Every structure is written in structure tokens, then in C-alpha cells.
Amino acid sequence: MKQFSYYTYFPGCSSTEGTAAGYGQSIKEVGSPLGLALIELEDWNCCGSTPYGSTHELESLCIAARNLALAEKAKITVLDEKDTPVEKADLDLVTPCSCCYTTLNRANSIMRQYPDLKDKVNECLDAAGLNYKGRVKVRHLFEVVYTDIGLDFIKSKIVNPLNGLKVAAYYGCQLTRTEPAFDNPRNPQTLDQLITSLGGEPVPFPLKDRCCGSSLIIPEPDIALGLVQNILESAASNGAQCIVTLCPLCQTNLDAYQAMVNRKFKTDYHLPVLFFTQLIGLAIIPKSLPVYIPKYPLVPEYLGLHTNIVSPNPVLNHLFMTRFYAAQRS
């Protein structure tokens, strides 16, 4: 039995009850089989994201730093193997959202780079009785799964291998490109490796880290829809059966706006867009899958799959059929 690894968890606004509710649900279901103990940060607030940083500099740093200060202060008590309570502090702050990851890391690095700004931020935090020393390390959930949990451990947990499911690994932009980089920013490979170890087949995907348009989809939909179309075309033309991503915003843009892209560009994409935690869940959580009607929005309510707008039924059917044939052969 693997020991649990403890982290402070910063879910981000969209993964709690917003547009990426399925992400949050799948993380909850996948967490304990992977040995991840994610303890939600008490009373966290929005990180501020790009819009706040683009309108107010000091305020945006303060908004982000409040979370960092709370995380620095957070302490939890856990029971070890001999049932004695142990206090844990200075846990890493883990977020599943690439935007939160970038924003919190940016606040950290700016405060390190400009000490006078840090003093100013602390002066503001003082109004709320908080203080930030700069000790918290911000990490992305995918990085934690890849480096701390490890692909070997995930492999040992697999009960339903993906059986050659063709997956396009979409990294989004901010995770690999911003400091501290944990993967090659020019040609990231880690998500492809995860797909391979789950039994899937990563397809060649040249636009794997091209921008999806992010929040521009609201103010400038014409620009952003063009970017989404490029990505969908790249994945579909390389024979992908689904796209896997690790950012709530990427998932929303590729999934919820797929019908709009189809209308605007007269295309016919039907690519389910899954979160990487949903894909891991499909492989490691034992569950019998019935046959589903393709394109029909009737999916099981586990792993948050019911929140996917482009129906993930073809993916589930692939898993069911390949397993069915394998059982017949044996």
C-alpha cells in the first residue's frame, strides 16, 4: 500500500461549480486510488487570473498573495501508520487549472524579483491580519501526478487498459511555457507518456500546445473560434478519437464551442474532450461499461463524464468493444 502524499488543494473557480465541474468531480474520484490527499485550502479566493493582472498591478498581486498567505499558514493533522497524530505544514499548493498555476507562480516570482513590491503587498495583507514570507511552492496537478505519483504506479493500478484508444494530447499553453518549466516548452511529451502508459495511443498532434483563445472567446469570439478550429482540425486529421487536456478553460473552449465551430466553418468535428483525470479514472477505476449510443447525451454520472458536452460515448464504446473482443478471444 502506497503512503498518501499530502497537498494543499486550490481547485480554482471553474473546477468547483463552474464550467469545469466535471474536472473537480473526477479529481475527487481519482485522488484516493492514486494516493493523493488533496486538502482544500480554507476559504480560498479567485487567483485573479489574467484580467485582474491586466487592469490593476498591486491589487492583483494582493488577491493572489492572500491565497499564498493562507496556504503558508495552513496546517493539518494526520494519522500515521501507528495511528499517532502528526502535524504537517509547508505543503505544496496544488491547482488543477493552468491559469491559476500561472497567476500564483507569477505573483511568487514578481515578489521574489521586486522586494519593494513584496513589502507593499505585505502591508496590504496586514489589513486582513495576514502575512506572506514567500515559502509556498505552487504546482500543477498534472505535474504532481507525473513526478510525485509516477507513471509506474499508475500502470500498476490499471484495471481497464485503454486498448489503443487514439488520443490527441493537448497541453494548452500556460502550463509548459511559464516558469518553472517542468516539461520541454517547445515540444512537451509528458502527457503523451501518460497516455501510452494507460494503454492508449497518442496521435501525432502538431498543435498540441497552440493557444485555444482562452478568455478571448467571450469578447472576440471570431478570433478565438478560428484558433479552436485549427486545433480541432489538427487532432481530427491525425485520426484522434478524443482530445485530452489539463486546463479547464481549454476544455470549455474545445468542447462547448465545438458545435459553434462546426456551424461557422461548415465542418463536422465530433471530438470528445476529456480531462486527464477522467482518462486516468476510466483506466484505473473498476466499473462495468455498458454500450452507449454514439452522439446521444446519455452517459454515466461518474468521473464527471455527464458534464462533457460533446458526448464521450464513442470513447466508452471503444473501451467496451475492445474488452468484449479480448474476452471472447480468451
Which residues in 58-87 contact another protein (CB under 8 A)? 58-59, 62-63, 66
Strands, E assignment, 46-193: 75-79, 85-89, 93-95, 138-140, 166-170
The CA distance from 97 to 95, in Å, is 6
Residues 145-174 touching another protein, rule: CB under 8 A, are 173-174
Q: How far is the CB of 73 from another protein (least distance, A)?
A: 13
Q: How far is the CB of 62 from another protein (least distance, A)?
A: 5
229 binds another protein (CB under 8 A): no
Q: Which amino acid makes up residue 330?
A: S
131 binds another protein (CB under 8 A): no
221 binds another protein (CB under 8 A): yes
CA dihedral 127, 98, 15, 298 (to 10 degrees): 170
Q: Which is nearer to another protein, 110 or 154 (CB)?
A: 110
Q: Which stretch binds another protein (CB under 8 A): 78-86, 203-211, 238-246, 288-296?
A: 203-211
Residue 8-47 contact track with another protein, rule CB under 8 A, x = bound? -----xx-xxxxxxx--------------------xxxx-
Strands, E assignment, the chain: 5-9, 36-40, 75-79, 85-89, 93-95, 138-140, 166-170, 201-202, 242-245, 273-275
Among 77, 84, 113, 330, binds another protein (CB under 8 A): 113
The CA distance from 6 to 92, in Å, is 8
Rounded to an integer, what is the distance from CA 283 to the centroid of its chain?
A: 17
Tell me how many residues contact another protein (CB under 8 A): 72
210 binds another protein (CB under 8 A): yes
